[in-house]
Amino acid sequence: MRFSSFVFSAGLGAAVTIPRQADNACANPAKRVEWRTLDVGVQKQYIDAVLCLKTKPSGIGLNTTRYDDFPYVHTHLDNTIHTVAMFLPWHRLFVQVYEDSLRDCGYTGPMAYWDWTLDADDPTKAPLWDVTTGFGGNGDPAIDPKSSSKKCLVDGPLKGLQVAYTMKGYQPHCLARNWNSGIAFPGDMLADSYNKESVDKVAALDNYEDFRYQLEGGPHGAIHSAVGGDMSPATSPNDPIFFLHHAQIDRLWTLWQMEKPETRTNEFGGPKTLNENKPGEATLNDVMPYLNLVPDIKVSEVMGTQTSKLCYNY
């Protein structure tokens, strides 16, 4: 198999050359793009599709909506998909399933990611928070006076949106954000953990286990904590920001893989489970559960982004 040259870059517009697939299963890969590069009309169509998910019935048999399927599944698999080897491949497919759901709601543009390295100088000014071309900004605790920690959104297209689940189960509530998880660092939002310098350090790691561990515990975790509110617990897919964030995580993994595609598209390892009573090393044959969101699938089937299962690049 022949591979083209590749250069890693965390910046906006970095081109990714993916190895040619021997079976030609992905002849015309879709290109994912940074949110701020989308036309205003496409941004609106994306957000309209997000809201449309709230009008669709659950696809997994719940009494809630398609929108709520995602936090429900993510929460119930919390200890299976975090701080373990399958963190990256599991979320790779999870984002794809979400994109497919947006397509069912009429979205025709590219899947978008949020490159937070571009906003690290002042994350509070990220275009993502714009009230007309984004998802609205921080929440306000005055909207829900019964809870000092729940800061309901006060502007943007998601203002007033009710989401169904918390870590305790079915508990309808306003979509909330609490920047810095209640820690008052205006303009900072833990940016030292996801600026370009920090991302470059993670990218320089030369084995999957170290790379996954540092990416998950560093930039990934910092964004969840920085945005706060519904982005902090395992029900974080309540906030649509989750999927742009995880598309960026997937992008960084893809960039890392493509630095050495001959080996890294098959490089996988680390803890299989957090359960100390079931120790074991993760393998490419491990099956990833999705609770009927999609059929369960082996890790090996989503190690590349241009295959019979996935067809996109960055």
Q: Which residue has the tokens 């996109």?
A: 312
Predicted confidence at residue 183, as pLDDT, reads 54
Q: In the chain, what are the helix, strand and coil shares in percent, each to the nearest 5?
A: 40, 10, 45
Strand 287-288 versus strand 297-298 pairing type? antiparallel
Q: Could you give the 3-state DSSP secondary structure of residue 176?
A: strand
Extended beta strands in the chain, E state: 30-31, 33-34, 112-113, 139-140, 152-153, 162-166, 169-174, 287-288, 297-298, 312-313
Angle of CA points 304, 309, 310, to nearest 5°: 55
What distance in Å separates the CA atoms of residue 8 and residue 32, rounded to the nearest whole number?
A: 16
Q: Which residue has the tokens 């320089």?
A: 204
Cβ partners under 8 Å of residue 234, min gap 6: 71, 74, 75, 78, 82, 167
For residue 165, report the phi and psi dihedrals to the nearest 5 degrees: -120, 145
pTM to 2 decimal places = 0.91
Q: Which CATH superfamily does the domain covering 30-313 fall into?
A: Di-copper center containing domain from catechol oxidase (1.10.1280.10)
Bridge partners of 297, per DSSP, are 288
CA distance 52 to 39: 20
Domain residue ranges in the chain: 30-313
Q: Where are the alpha helices (DSSP H) in the chain?
A: 40-52, 66-76, 78-81, 87-104, 196-203, 208-215, 221-227, 241-259, 261-264
Across-strand partners of 112?
33
What are the φ and ψ backbone dihedral angles of 70, each rounded to 5 degrees? -70, -50
Give CA–CA dist 132/113, Å, rounded.
18
CA 135 to chain centre: 15
What are the per-10-residue average pLDDT scores of the chain (314 residues)? 35 42 77 98 98 98 98 97 98 98 98 98 94 95 59 94 95 92 64 97 98 98 94 95 98 98 96 78 97 98 96 98
**Gap between the Cα atoms of 136 and 155, Å rounded:** 5
Q: How many whole angstroms separate alpha carbon 124 and alpha carbon 127?
A: 9
Residue-level pLDDT at 188: 78
